[in-house]
Amino acid sequence: MSERQPEGPRVVTGGAGAIGSVLVERLLRDGAAVEVIDDFSSGRPEVLPTGAAASRLHVTSCHLGTEEPPGSAFRGAGEVWHLAANADVRRGPENPKVDLTSGTVATFQVLEAARKADVPRVIFSSSSVVYGFPTVFPTPESYGPLQPESLYGAAKLAAEGLLSAYAHTYGIRAYIYRFANIVDGRAGHGVIYDFFEKLRAEPSRLEVLGDGRQAKSYLRTEECVEGMLAGVQRASDKVNIFNLGSADRISVREIAEKVVAAHGGTARIVYQGGDRGWVGDVPQQQLSIEKIGRLGWKPKLTSAEAVDRTVEELAEARHLPSARKPSGGPSRRRAAP
């Protein structure tokens, strides 16, 4: 059921990140005022919108988890989009406090600020890693028990618990989105970006963690934003949980071959072996998207098409000879959802 859009500014934590910046563009285009909170550890100020719409954009630098967010940013807000998090899952084992601080503690701080300001709803970017190593594919939202294999996944699951508790205790409506792999040329992390960086350092050899048979679902940022908006606009339970991903998956081997092809196709691919890339990695992932599909949303691109578009954007940004230019219109890297 559709509900009336809230009045007041939209708060977006992590608004200078790959997903956050696309969301901010969309919210501004829809006429909302937007309060961005970001520590710019991985987000970049240059991806935030400029021009006339930017007059309705206010940006605050704040390291959530170690600093409390300013209450003034939440005052009168219609909703909070909490996207800020540790951007690199693999950092967790090196420093176990990273995900606790930037994930769980930061979520508590955001929820407290929202509660004190009487913000009616909070939208949270969770992850497929909360499922751990599932035995059911595609994996539905009802799958359990949830046993994350990474500290990042544990922090996301703890944050989901906090959102549920705040929803039932204080009446905040919660929207929780469990993402597949979200890709975009803006992102400064992830397997595609990592492969480009490895080939920049060593053009003749691409080292791939694992055996290349790891296979996961990939979704473009603009489609991710559309999926989140669809759930927020059409679902009205106290706690709303949705998977967001594509309807298929693609292997790491295929991605490596696509990235090597973008670099001229001469680099040798070397696999390090094992069934996963790093401690905590979930090598096989395929989410069920039937629940969000019943609200009328489905991705337009397959996982391979999402990867192809992202490879093209990264190749173009690096001025590789193989990069194909988009045929007319704005750059796909800056395309609005």
Q: State the pLDDT at residue 88.
A: 75
Each residue of 228-243: pLDDT tens digit? 999 999 999 999 999 9
d(CA 49, CA 10): 15
Between the CA of residue 176 and those of 21, 130, 203, what are the distances in Å?
19, 12, 40
Does residue 51 form part of some domain? yes
Q: State the pLDDT at residue 322.
A: 75
Q: State the pLDDT at residue 175.
A: 98
Does residue 49 form part of some domain? yes
Between the CA of residue 173 and those of 24, 114, 138, 164, what are the distances in Å?
21, 11, 27, 9
Q: State the pLDDT at residue 324.
A: 53
d(CA 203, CA 8): 50
User: Secondary structure of the chain: what % helix, strand, coil (to 5)?
Assistant: 40, 20, 45
d(CA 216, CA 226): 20
Does residue 268 form part of some domain? no
Neighbours of 142 (CB within 10 A): 9
Q: Which of 149, 233, 216 is nearest to 182 (CA)?
A: 216
Domain count across the chain: 1
DSSP secondary structure letters along 257-307: HHHHHHTTS-PEEEE-BSSSSSTT--SB--B--HHHHTTT---SS-HHHHH
Q: Residue 235 is encoded by which pair of tokens?
A: 């679902």
Q: Which residue has the tokens 């991985």?
A: 42
Q: Could you give the 3-state DSSP secondary structure of residue 188?
A: coil
Does residue 172 form part of some domain? yes
Which residue range is the domain that position 109 belongs to? 10-183+220-244
Does residue 337 form part of some domain? no
Asked if 305 and 249 touch (Cβ cutoff 8 Å), the reply is: no
Q: Could you give the 3-state DSSP secondary structure of residue 36?
A: strand
Neighbours of 50 (CB within 10 A): 8
> What per-residue string of b and e applies to 186-196 under the rule 16 or more CB within 10 Å gives b?
bbebbbbbbbb
Does residue 283 form part of some domain? no
Q: Residue 321 is encoded by which pair of tokens?
A: 């000879």
Does residue 329 form part of some domain? no
Across the chain, which distance is largest between two alpha carbons, in Å? 58
Q: Find the DSSP H helices in 70-190.
A: 71-74, 97-99, 106-116, 151-170
Tens of each residue's pLDDT in the chain, 337 residues: 344 567 899 999 999 999 999 999 999 999 999 999 999 988 999 999 888 888 999 999 999 999 999 999 999 999 999 999 987 777 778 888 999 999 999 999 999 999 999 999 999 999 999 999 999 999 999 999 999 999 999 999 999 999 999 999 999 999 999 999 999 998 888 999 999 999 999 999 999 999 999 999 999 999 999 999 999 999 999 999 999 999 999 999 999 999 999 999 999 999 999 988 878 889 999 999 999 999 999 999 999 999 999 999 999 999 998 765 443 333 443 333 3
Give this prediction's pTM.
0.93
Does residue 230 form part of some domain? yes
CATH code for the domain in which residue 119 is found? 3.40.50.720
